Amino acid sequence: MTGSVFVKFQEIDGGLKFMEINVVEKACQDLKINQRELAELIGVSTNTVSGWRNGKRAIPKWGYRILELVKLEKEHYQLTDTIKRYKI
């Protein structure tokens, strides 16, 4: 596992725990889309997303930011739909 494709999270729960997570795979799972759809959504080539996923290409800062924004946008629309449905 190399490059910036993997992020380590630190948890303190009676000790230290580290988890390695593939950022691209996690984004695709969270958004329920595949790599091609993710590439189209954020305006990059499928080769770029594939390179990020397999560690051959480092994810730039803007890449991390746009992945977070895309996830936040989805959460916003889900919340908006819930509010409309229940007329909150």
Whole-number Cα distances in Å, 87 to 52, 73, 74: 41, 20, 19
Q: Contact at 8 Å (CB) between 13 and 62? A: no
When pLDDT is averaged across residues 64-76 and rounded to a whole number, the result is 90
pLDDT at 24 over 70: yes
pLDDT of residue 46: 97
For residue 4, pLDDT over 60 is answered with no
Q: Which helix (H) or strand (E) holds 47?
A: helix 46-54
State the average pLDDT over residues 41-57.
Answer: 94
- pLDDT above 70 coverage of the chain, percent: 77
Q: What are the domain boundaries of the chain?
A: 3-86
The span from the CA of 72 to the CA of 75, in Å, is: 5
Answer whether CATH 3.40.720 is correct for domain 3-86.
Answer: no
